[in-house]
Structures are given as structure tokens and as C-alpha cells.
Amino acid sequence: MFLRNMGIIPGKAQSGADEGSGASITNLSRRSFVAGSGLFVIGVTLAGCSSYVEPDVDANAFDLPDPGASPLTQVAGGDATPALWIAIEEDGTVKITCHRSEMGQQVWTSMAQIVADELEADWDKVQIVQAEGHERYGDQNTDGSRSVRYNFHRLRIAGAAMRSMLTEAAALFWEMNPAECSAAEGLVSNSQNSDTLSYGNLAELAARLEIPAEDEINLKEPDEWRFINKEIPSLTIPLITRGQGTFGIDVDRPGMVYAVVARPPQVFGRVGSVDDTAALEVPGMLQTVRLRDAKPPALFQPMGGVAVIARNTWAAIQGRNALDIEWIDGPNARYESVSFGEAMKRTARRPGTVRRERGNVQTGMADAAQRIEAEYYAPHLSQSPMEPPSATAQWTGDKLEVWACVQDPQTTRQTIADLLEIDKENITVNATWLGGAFGRKSKPDFAVEAALIAKEVGKPVKVTWTREDEVRHGFYHSASAQRLEAGLDEDGKCTSYLHRTVFPPIASTFSDGMATPTDGEMGLGATDVPFAMPNLRVESGDAKGHLRIGWLRSVSNIYHAFAVQSFAAEMAHAAGRDQKEYLLELIGKARTFDPGDEGATYPNYDASIEDYPIETGRLSNVVEKAADMARWGRNLPEGHGLGIAVHRSFLSYIATVIEAAVSPDGTLTIPGIWLAVDAGTVVNPRHARAQMEGGTIYGLSNALYGEITARNGAVVQDNFPSWRVMRMGEAPREFDVEIIQSNTRPAGIGEPATPPAAPALTNAIFNATGHRIRTLPIIGARGSRLSLPETETA
């Protein structure tokens, strides 16, 4: 590559480069290449792809490289062509495109850390451009704790490729060998003199060089990392502390009107009749629009109903209150979640479909010296991000632009195209900031609503969901019933293990009548159980969906880890053994295994089992670590107990120890939590720790209080506090996180802290009180204390 493009190098005599400053090369470059544009951009930020930092980029400033000319379109993880990700401006500003949705996991910062590290950028000059939804970026579904895992390699390649081109540009300018030039913190220097050239000055020249192939690119060694694995401050938080930044609900368009929607109480319910006379008299009301009825399967359709459009959100809410609607029942009008839970428990008592098998559980149980069994139940949950769903849509002719707090702008775009039967090319979807998501915002029904309503109204429309809408019309975490049985030998060692899990699958939302738990859901904590006993069987039982069932932070791992890790402690108790020692014995010696070898179809979070094997040694290691942090085995005050749970999910290994304190009247407090995580390479330890805290508390909030019930097919809860969540006063006083340092492949961070939280707490409560909790929530929306057997009668 070296000197290949000598032909375009400006004469050195003109440059005044001995000043070592970039000013003259800039002037020269401007004269030579970009008459009058005043902008130098390496790569080109694609038009229309910014929600926040409107890139001040003139795409015509110079010829775009032919995309086919990039040798980096097929890098593992996707296209690593620098121009897709990085734009460098004359003043040195480095604009990095983030194609994942920012929802508090600090993905703006982590994606920028990865690119900027290999690029050797000056961090103070980094700005983020939020990508619109487009296939050119590859997967944008910000879900499944995989933003870093999917993009770590390719973004490093993109950054390193550009660093190499900038370095080469400097070498050309200085007429040196690139090996004599090196880049650091936004400047290229050389080994011959003290001159430096800034990226801003080199960008335009570098853009004309050939992009190196992957095998020509040298990635930095971990010990050379400047930003990766460092506690780099968030790029969003300074804005947040001033009330700046644009969430979905904050979008404003000229001439915009405001809408809320009255939706049928039941899924696939319909509007019978509507009288909007009183509604239209509300000051500020503009009109109502009947939305089309939803039909099974639910997919990401809006649920129909009546849209209420006004000059402001408050007027729309008042208008909706004044509507007189007669609803026609949906097909699930007889769904009662409590009695359905009992039915699921009965299903769990009957033999199910075998999903993984080792040895022979029947003979193992028959030969056992001691047998134990337990049933667990966990209810539906709502994701309830702090920002309810909100979307804004604007039509210009047959072109549609949408701004929404969506986890996947590509799915949003495709869903709108499908449901409105319009060409995807006519749709632009901008992901705003997300005020939390937790899986709710991976379903773009609310963005489709905005598109439909805006079309009817002929003006830009913002649809806001109230909290009541969010709680009542969600895609709920599945309720579940599970049964576990074990046979122990004379020494208390587990020889036989049966786990049967029953829950309506998420697939019921996408395919009407689907009732069999999928391999994906079974692989979230059931078929990948890491226990080593000789006889093991995992079964599933069918259950129909009656609400829209959807993903919620860590998904089926929540109820599976609750049952499996509770049962591990129950086995320890039956054996008269220490919970932690018994857990280590269940896990067994350090090894890797593939559930596929025992009949499971195991997706392993869409990763290959070779790249990301299940390593029991890493599980045991985090157990030991968390136990040490908590000083497991220490003397505790009366009414206190420590509980432990460990779980692998999203390819990360996390053990959590919780101290529970229960007063004689059943009042529960959580003095401390100790968590050890092994997630391979961690891009930002500070933000990873925040996810450990947040994921744990999210799990505890659900376990303590969370319960969505349905009566007559309609959700009963409507807002805080009937849908109760954890508050400041209930949060633990102490929360220690230890990140196991590792340079192995990066794994998930956003979700995996949630699953071990609930069983660590219920195990702690058991150790504090002798009371075993097998039904969630532990306290519920109205409770204030544990109902212990003693206090129940008190």
C-alpha cells in the first residue's frame, strides 16, 4: 500500500510542514481536492442518520469510495468499512456512528471506546452519531446483551483500518515509510523529527487511500489498550444532568399534534361502538381515529382501539377519559391468570416432553436413599421502563419518518413496511435515546401506531403511552410453573435430577396457538443446567398464551434460575450440607460440556459452542469469589441469613450472595449483596458494575413485588403502586461487585445479573428464617413484610 497514491501527494515545498502543524496541509488539501467545501471527512456520514449530533457533513465534498472497493465488508460480525463508522472533520472531531440503541447500558460510550481505541483517537474529540435503522449496519437489535459481543472485533478492525490509513497519509506527506510513523491520541508523529500531523488535517488525504485488508491490519494488544477495559466516563451523562438529550417522548416536530390511544382491554378485543361527542368538547381536542382491529397472531401489531388526537398530551388524555366505548371481547376473555397458574402446576406434575437426558432418572430415583421434590411458581411481569413507549411519525408525500425509543430500528422499519404495505425504502426510522427498555422496546407496536395515526391526521403525530397503557397493554414476561425432583444417596450426594418447566412460550405471540416452550427458551437456564449428577432429565410442558408474551431482561433465565438455584439449596438442606459447598459439588469438576451431546437443541445465545463453551470451572470460580467477598460462613446476627446462587446466561458467569435480615414481625431488609462476574473482556468496568447493580435490583424488585395478573383476559394492574417496583429505601446498603479480569471473548453484561438475584434472596431468607419461598412474588404489591408461618397467624 505504501506510496501507492503518491500521485495525489501535494508538493512538500508548498506545505510548510516543517512547522509541524496541520494548518498548512489543510489549506493545501483544500486547494487540491475540495474547492471551497471547508470540510474534510474521512469516510462519509450517511445522510439522514443522525438524531442528535446532526453531522455537519457535506457528502459531496469528495467522491465516495465505491462500497464494493472495501475489503472489510465481510469481517466477522459484519461490515467494518471505516466510512460506515467513522467520520473525521477538519477540526479533528471524530464522529463515531453507534448503530445500537442507547438505553442506559452506555452503549454510546462502549462502542466509541472500541473504535477510538484502535483508531488512537483523542477521546475529547469523540462525538456520537446515532444510526438510523438500516441493513448496512448489520444487526441493530439491541437485545440479548450482545452489542459488545457482536461488534467488538469488527469495530476494532474499522478503527485500526482508519488508523493505518491516517498513518499512511502522514507517511506520504512526510515522504517516509509508514513504519516510521505512528498514531496516538489523534496525532501522527514520526521517528525522524518532532513533526506531528493531526487527524483532522490528514483525514481528507487518508480518505483517498485504499482500505487495508483485514490481514494487513494490526490490532493493538490488550496491554496497549487506552480506552477498552478502562473506566471511561459516559458520553451521555453530562447531558442528562442538564435535562438535555432526546428520549422518544421528547421528540418535537414542527406542527406536531399529540395522541394517546384507547386500546381494547383484552388482546384481540375490538371496538363495538364509540361515542366521542364529549371527548371532542375537551379543550385542545382535535379528532379521534378508529384504528384497525388486530388479528392473530399478535406479532408487533398495534392492538387497535381509538386514537385521540389533541394539541397537547394532557388534552389527549382528558379526551380519552371522556370517550364512551363499548368493547367487544377478545378470544381470551375468560383468561384468569391465577387459575391458569394452578393448571400449569398440574401440567408440571405429569410427564412432559424430554428436552435433555443423561443416564436414567427413573432408576436413579428408585435407587436413591432420599428423595425430595418442590414446585415453583412465578407470575407474569411487566418490563416497565421508566420512559413508557412513545413514538413520533411524520409523512411527507409517500415518505415516512419515525422517531422512536426502539431497541431495533430495523425491525421497526420492516414492521411498518409490512403492516402499512409500503416500500421500506420510503421509511426512515430514527432511534432516540431510550429511557430504559428491558425488552419492551424491542416490540415496535407503538411506532406502528404513530405511523398509522399520522397518516390519518396528515400532520406529524407523537403517540405517548401513559403508565397505565404500558402496564395494561404490554408484552409480558411469561408466567411459569416448575417442578423439580431429586434423588440423593446415603451421603446426601445428588444422583438423580428431574426438572420440568411449563410456561406459555414467546412464540405464542408470533404463531397463534404455539404452546410448546422453544429450544431458545429451554436453553435459558433449563437445558443448559451445569450439574454433574449421573442421571439428569429436563422436560417441558405445554401452556397456551393468553396475553402477548414477550422478552423481559434475561427472559426465561429468570424463572429457571429461580427454580434450579432454589432447588440446589433445598437439596443441600436435605443433605444437611452447606449451601455453597453443595452447589460446588453439583457443578462438579471443571470441564466444558455441550447440552447437545445429551439430546438438547441448544442455541448457546447464537454463539458457537466452540467459541463460547459452557465452562463449569468459571461457574465454580465466581461462586468461590462471591462467597469470599461476602465472608461466607461468618457469624450472623439473629434473623440474618446469607444465600447464594450462580447462573450462566448470555455467555457470562455470575454468582450472587445476598444477606437477608428478617425481623420477628417479618420485616425484610437486605443489608448487603456481593456479586462476582466473569464476562470475558469487559469494555467499561464502571458501566459493567452499574449493570450488575441494576440487573440485580431489577431481579429483586420483580421477585419481591412484581406480579401482573389477568382477570377476564384483561390485566388488573395499572400504574405504580398496584404494579410495584423497588424504591430507594429498599435498596441494599452495601453492594460489592467484582469483575474477574480476563482477555477472553466478551460476553453479555446487561442481563445476566438478573437471574441469580431472586434465588440468592430466597435462599438467604431460608437461612434467616427456615422459611422456603417457592411462589413469587415474595411480598407482593400490597404487602409490607414476609408472611412467615409464625406471623401468618399472628
Partner 1 sequence: MARTLKINGKDETVDAAPGTPLLWVLRDHLKMTGTKFGCGVAQCGACTVHIDGAPTRSCVLPHDSLEGSEITTIEGVEGPAADAIREVWVENDVPQCGYCQSGQIMAATALLAENSSPTDADIDTAMSGNICRCATYMSIRRAIKEAASRA
Rounded CA-CA distance 370/245 in Å is: 60
Rounded CA-CA distance 99/106 in Å is: 13
Which is it for strands 390-396 and 324-328: parallel, antiparallel or unpaired?
unpaired
Q: Which of 359, 693, 772, 787 binds partner 1 (CB under 8 A)?
A: 693
Q: Which of 317, 323, 393, 486 binds partner 1 (CB under 8 A)?
A: 317
The reply to whether 680 sits near ligand FES by the rule CB under 6 A is no
**Closest distance to partner 1 from the beta carbon of 155 (Å):** 21
Which one of ligand FES, partner 1, none interacts with residue 785, CB within 5 to 8 A by kind?
none
Cα first-last separation, the chain: 83
Rounded CA-CA distance 794/790 in Å is: 7
Q: Which of 659, 687, 707, 779 binds partner 1 (CB under 8 A)?
A: 687
Contact string (CB under 6 A) for ligand FES, positions 375-394, x = contact: -----------x--------
The reply to whether 248 sits near ligand FES by the rule CB under 6 A is no
In 194-291, which residue ranges form alpha helices assigned H by DSSP?
Answer: 199-206, 237-240, 277-280
**Closest distance to partner 1 from the beta carbon of 541 (Å):** 32
**Closest distance to ligand FES from the beta carbon of 439 (Å):** 15
Q: Decide: 788 and 670 in contact? Cβ < 8 Å.
A: no
Which is it for strands 399-404 and 187-190: parallel, antiparallel or unpaired?
unpaired
Q: Please identify, using beta-carbon distances, which residue of 463 and 726 lies nearer to ligand FES.
A: 726
**Closest distance to partner 1 from the beta carbon of 624 (Å):** 24
Enter the C-alpha cell of residue 170. 502522514
The reply to whether 237 sits near ligand FES by the rule CB under 6 A is no
**Closest distance to partner 1 from the beta carbon of 139 (Å):** 21
Site for partner 1 in 735-794 (CB under 8 A): 735
Binding segment toward partner 1, per CB under 8 A, in 87-95, 230-238, 487-495, 581-589: 230-238
Number of C-beta neighbours around residue 94 at 10 A: 27
In 588-661, which residue ranges form alpha helices assigned H by DSSP?
Answer: 616-630
Q: Which of 487, 603, 732, 748 binds partner 1 (CB under 8 A)?
A: 732
Binding segment toward partner 1, per CB under 8 A, in 192-200, 342-350, 581-589, 731-739: 731-739
Number of C-beta neighbours around residue 507 at 10 A: 18
Q: Please identify, using beta-carbon distances, which residue of 436 and 672 lies nearer to ligand FES.
A: 436
What count of residues does the chain have?
794
Which one of partner 1, ligand FES, none interacts with residue 314, CB within 5 to 8 A by kind?
partner 1
Rounded CA-CA distance 231/343 in Å is: 49
Q: Which of 84, 103, 457, 654 binds partner 1 (CB under 8 A)?
A: 103
The reply to whether 695 sits near ligand FES by the rule CB under 6 A is no
Binding segment toward partner 1, per CB under 8 A, in 100-108, 207-215, 348-356, 395-403: 100-108
- The H or E element containing residue 463 is strand 461-464
Which is it for strands 399-404 and 427-431: parallel, antiparallel or unpaired?
parallel
Cβ partners under 8 Å of residue 87, min gap 6:
41, 42, 43, 44, 45, 55, 57, 94, 95, 97, 129
| Cis ω before 296 (30° cut-off from 0) | no
Rounded CA-CA distance 746/498 in Å is: 32
Grid-cell match 397518516, residue found: 455
Site for partner 1 in 452-471 (CB under 8 A): 464, 466-467
The reply to whether 731 sits near partner 1 by the rule CB under 8 A is yes
Contact string (CB under 6 A) for ligand FES, positions 60-99, x = contact: ----------------------------------------
Contact string (CB under 6 A) for ligand FES, positions 430-459, x = contact: ------x-----------------------
- The H or E element containing residue 535 is strand 535-541
What φ, ψ does residue 687 adopt, rounded to 5°? -75, -30
Enter the C-alpha cell of residue 63. 467522491
Which one of ligand FES, partner 1, none interacts with residue 186, CB within 5 to 8 A by kind?
none
Number of C-beta neighbours around residue 271 at 10 A: 19
Q: Please identify, using beta-carbon distances, which residue of 251 and 786 lies nearer to partner 1.
A: 251
Grid-cell match 425432583, residue found: 485
Residues lying near ligand FES in the complex (CB under 6 A): 104, 386, 436
Residues lying near partner 1 in the complex (CB under 8 A): 102-106, 233-234, 236-247, 249-250, 252, 258, 283-284, 311-315, 317, 384-388, 433-438, 464, 466-467, 686-687, 690-691, 693-694, 696-698, 701, 719-721, 725-729, 731-733, 735
